[in-house]
Structures are given as structure tokens and as C-alpha cells.
Structure 1
Amino acid sequence: MTTPPIAGTADGRARALIAVRAAHTVIWAFFASSIVLIPIATLLGQLTAALWMSLFVWGEVVVLLLNGMRCPLTAVAARYTDDRADNFDIWLPRWLARHNQRIFGTLFAASQVLLGYALVTSGA
């Protein structure tokens, strides 16, 4: 029976980085899909669903604000590599990782305006 590599070995660091990148990508996909789905749910009149997704994303916004607008997983990934490319900590194309907050922040802000308008006009 072989023992699993420890985080101090090159193989252990590589495995740890893969785990962090995988977790970061899954979490990012959840929030990115929520941001895309908020205006769709709003336009379909599913305001409760849109509100719940908004609350989850607002939770992520608070986490980012508390961490200097960086995901805490970025610091974890940095322990396992010297690479500092825009996408070293997540499996996204480099251009998307570089502009992620600008793109999804703008979409989220627009979705909140749409949702706010829908809530006001629906009487909810």
C-alpha cells in the first residue's frame, strides 16, 4: 500500500492545487450561473427564486469585500504554486479570470436593478 503524497512534496502540492482549483471553479460556476439566472427568473416572474439567488450572491460579495476583493481560495492556491497568472487558482480562460469581477459585477448590478423594479411594480 502506498502512502498519499503530503502537501510538502511536489506531487502533494500539485494535487492540493488541483483540489483548490476544482473547488474554486465549482463555486465560481454556482455564483456565475446564479448571476445569469437572476434576470431570467425575474423576467419569468419567479421573484422568490431571484431573491434567493441574489442573497447567495450578496453573501459572496460580502466575502470578497472582507478579503480585499479577492476570493479566499486564491490565497489557499498560492500556497501550492509560484504561478500568478490570472487563472492560476481556477479553471477559467485567462481573459475571463482577468475580467471576471468586472463582467459579473456589472451583470449582477443590472440584475439587481431589474429585480428591484420588478419587486416595486409587483407590489411584493
Structure 2
Amino acid sequence: VLGWVLASIIGWGLIGGSGLGALGWIAPTVTSIPLRAFYGAMNGAVVGTLFGVAQGLILNNQIYRAWRWILANTIGWALGLALGWTLGAVLRGVTGLFLGEVVGLILAWLIVAATTGVALGHVARASVQ
């Protein structure tokens, strides 16, 4: 558990130092919905891969085929940011309120949490069987 926590802290530190760390906390300035979806998917994939690799190094010693965790993180972050940023743009466009962006960011975090949580459960169960 300590290794997982340290890997997570180091992963977040590296991502934060790269300028990508704020991606899950900020709303993009671009207003084009297709561009938001594209940039969300691309930036999310980068963040998910970096974070997944940091944690995957620890999981690799404990779980069979831990590389699936990296893939799940990449997919989860790509989906989360793409859908969250897109919803944020739609809601802000409809309401004219920044609150739409906040709802989009909440959705992004929920998608990331759900996809990575389910994936970790599958990866862990597969290694036990």
C-alpha cells in the first residue's frame, strides 16, 4: 500500500510539473465542442498513461498482467476529460454560466473514478484467479 501511495504522489508530482497536472481542475478556454472533445481525449490519454505507468510499476510486482492498469488509466482519463470538457462547453453555452464548466469537470472526475475503479477491480481479481 505504501508503494502505491508513493507512486501516486510521484506520478501526480511529475504530471503537475509537466504542466498537464491542472487538466482535471481547469476548464479549457477553447469553445469549439469538437476541439474540446479532441483535446480532452488527447490530454487525458497522456495524463492517464503517465499516472498509470507510475502506479503500474508498483502493481507489476504484485499483479499478473499489470500493464492492463496502464491501459485502463489511459482510457479512463481520455474518456473522462473528453466527455467532461464537452459537457462543460455545452452547459456553459446553453446557460451562459461558468457553473456548466464545473458540472463538466465533476463529470470528468466521476468517469475517471468509475472506469479506473472498475478496471482495478478486474485487474486485481484476474491476478487472484
Q: Is the TM-score greater than 0.5?
A: no
Give the alignment's TM-score, normalised by structure 2: 0.33
Which is helix-richer, 1 or 2?
A: 2
Give the alignment's TM-score, normalised by structure 1: 0.34
Greater relative contact order (Cα < 8 A, sep 6+): 1
Larger radius of gyration: 1
